[in-house]
Amino acid sequence: MDTEEYRDHPVRSYVLTSGRAHPSRNTLRPETLVRAVESRPVLSTASRLERELVELCRGTLALAEVAAYLQLPVSLVAVMVSDLVDTGNLTIRSNHQAHVLPGKDILEKILDGLRKL
């Protein structure tokens, strides 16, 4: 989807309606890592809050961290992040498959890391 198409969409700024199609929303968890796509300019229709969110994500943060810094509930930030992933402004760095647990290899690495703390 290109930018022009979005400009024609008046409801693009975050309107909290349920039942909208959100391909990425179900995969978002509080620990999901997100990061801004630097090469992608924020749409002119983006809200101040959305700009602030993208700005905050110039480095990797978990969704919950974004929510805490913006002083908003995680559930609301999940909706905004999902929209911004759909517009190509944010990318999900982790856990793109929902309901997938870490494997034994990951747990072993975590244990090694914890033992070195």
Partner 1 sequence: MDSASSDRTAPGQHLAPTVARSVKVLVVGAFGVGKTTLIGAVSEIDPLRTEERITTASVGIDPGQPNKETTTVAMDFGRITVTEDIALYLFGTPGQRRFWDLWAGLADGAVGALVMIDTRHLEDSFEVLDQLELRTKIPFAVVVNQFPDSPNYPLERVRAALDLLPETPIVECDARDRQSAVLTLITLVEHAMTFPVFQKVTA
Residues that bind partner 1 (CB under 8 A): 29-33, 56, 58-62, 64-65, 67-69, 72-75, 93-95, 98-115, 117
Residue linked to tokens 């402004």 = 89
Q: How far is the CB of 71 from partner 1 (least distance, A)?
A: 8
Residue 22 or 93 having the CB closest to partner 1: 93
Residue 15 or 111 having the CB closest to partner 1: 111
What phi, psi does 36 have (nearest 5°)?
Answer: -70, 150
Dist CA 100 CA 117 (whole Å): 27
End-to-end CA distance of the chain: 46
Give 69's contacts (C-beta < 8 A, 6+ positions apart): 56, 61
Residue 12 or 62 having the CB closest to partner 1: 62
Q: How far is the CB of 43 from partner 1 (least distance, A)?
A: 23
Q: How far is the CB of 69 from partner 1 (least distance, A)?
A: 6
